[in-house]
């Protein structure tokens, strides 16, 4: 683990605090869908670097719990669905977190950084039996493989930034393959990493249902988004 990641992890575990920001997710027809909660650390260490470097299961569970708690509390006045990230190693703890599992707005994004354990698979089954919505995060990256798709059978598949950017650069095979696999499970498909609005109609033609990225809204703290009127919020006409 890098010094940056260790410093960020220790600070979070000691203070029980991280910074939560929220990025909007839009349906391809321009209607607002909800937000993904993203974690930021006090020293600026990239969150992917921190979460992927944690190998101790108890530390990872604690970090996930802190990040999820902060996100839910800070998004309390944000309407709509709330996508929260959780490591595959921590999924077995979700049924124990009744204050979270009773929240119908939450969509659990199973991240790509760690393998799924047998206990995690049992927890996934419990969640689905109790009506919770699961998303496969960053499809095509690290542990977010076709095998994990088959194991999770999630209601939502989020295509990774790298796959979307490959498609934008004229290499569509990976995106089209993942769209095909996701549709076999009847999953809603979200494309991440949108950097140009003109991509949206083309992605809709590829079978994508929703989009997320800097071109459509950067991650901001909840207070910024609370200034918007969500009864009329739509994405301005696509260029």
Contacts of residue 125, defined as CB under 8 A and 6 or more positions apart, other chains included, come to none
Strand partners, 106: 82
Contacts of residue 103, defined as CB under 8 A and 6 or more positions apart, other chains included, come to 72
> 3-class SS at 23?
strand
**CATH number reported for the structural domain that contains residue 114 in this entry:** 3.20.20.450
Answer yes or no: is 234 within a domain: no
Q: What is the pLDDT of residues 90-131, one digit of tens each?
A: 888 887 777 777 778 899 999 888 888 888 888 888 888 888
Mean pLDDT score of the chain, rounded to an integer?
90
Answer yes or no: is 47 within a domain: yes
Answer yes or no: is 30 within a domain: yes
Backbone angles phi, psi at 25, to 5 degrees: -120, 135
Answer yes or no: is 236 within a domain: no
Q: Which of 135, 67, 63, 64 is nearest to 106 (CA)?
A: 135
Give the pLDDT band of residue 237 (cuts 50, 70, 90).
very low
CA 101/CA 106 separation, integer angstroms? 8
- Which domain does 177 fall in, by range? 3-225
Q: How many CB atoms lie within 10 A of CB 52?
A: 17
Residue written as token pair 């003109």? 198
Q: What is the pLDDT of residues 163-175, one digit of tens each?
A: 999 999 999 999 9
Answer yes or no: is 38 within a domain: yes
Q: Which of 162, 53, 47 is nearest to 114 (CA)?
A: 53
CA 194/CA 215 separation, integer angstroms? 6
Residue 189 Ramachandran class (φ > 0 left, ψ -120 to 50 alpha, else beta):
beta
pTM of the model: 0.92
DSSP 56: -
Answer yes or no: is 196 within a domain: yes
In the structure encoding, which two tokens stand for residue 227, read together? 């200034």
Q: How far from each other are the two terminal CA atoms of the chain, in whole angstroms? A: 43
Report yes or no: 154 and 177 within 8 Å, Cβ to Cβ.
Answer: no
Answer yes or no: is 238 within a domain: no
Give the pLDDT band of residue 20 (cuts 50, 70, 90).
very high
Q: Which of 8, 82, 79 is nearest to 44 (CA)?
A: 8
Longest dimension (CA), the chain: 48
Answer yes or no: is 239 within a domain: no
Q: Is the pLDDT of residue 239 over 70?
A: no
Q: What is the pLDDT of residues 189-226, one digit of tens each?
A: 999 999 999 999 999 999 999 999 999 999 999 999 99
For the chain, the domain total comes to 1
Q: Which of 137, 206, 201 is nearest to 172 (CA)?
A: 206
């Amino acid at each position: 683990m890098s010094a940056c990641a260790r410093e960020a992890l220790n600070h979070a575990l000691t203070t029980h605090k991280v910074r939560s920001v929220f990025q909007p997710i839009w349906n391809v027809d321009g209607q607002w869908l909800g937000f993904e909660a993203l974690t930021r650390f006090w020293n600026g260490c990239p969150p992917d670097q921190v979460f992927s470097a944690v190998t101790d299961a108890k530390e990872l569970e604690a970090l996930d719990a802190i990040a999820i708690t902060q996100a839910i509390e800070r998004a309390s006045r944000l309407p709509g669905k709330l996508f929260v990230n959780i490591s595959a190693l921590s999924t077995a703890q979700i049924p124990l977190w009744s204050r979270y599992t009773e929240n119908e707005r939450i969509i659990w994004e199973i991240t790509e950084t760690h393998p799924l354990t047998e206990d995690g698979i049992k927890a996934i089954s419990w969640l689905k039996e109790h009506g919770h919505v699961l998303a496969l995060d960053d499809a095509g990256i690290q542990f977010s493989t076709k095998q994990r798709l088959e194991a999770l059978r999630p209601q939502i598949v989020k295509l990774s930034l790298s796959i979307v950017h490959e498609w934008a650069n004229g290499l569509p095979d990976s995106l089209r393959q993942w769209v095909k696999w996701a549709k076999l499970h009847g999953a809603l498909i979200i494309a991440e990493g949108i950097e140009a609005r003109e991509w949206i109609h083309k992605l809709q033609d590829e079978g994508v249902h929703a989009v997320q990225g800097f071109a459509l809204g950067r991650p901001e703290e909840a207070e910024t988004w609370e200034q918007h009127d969500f009864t009329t919020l739509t994405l301005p006409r696509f260029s």
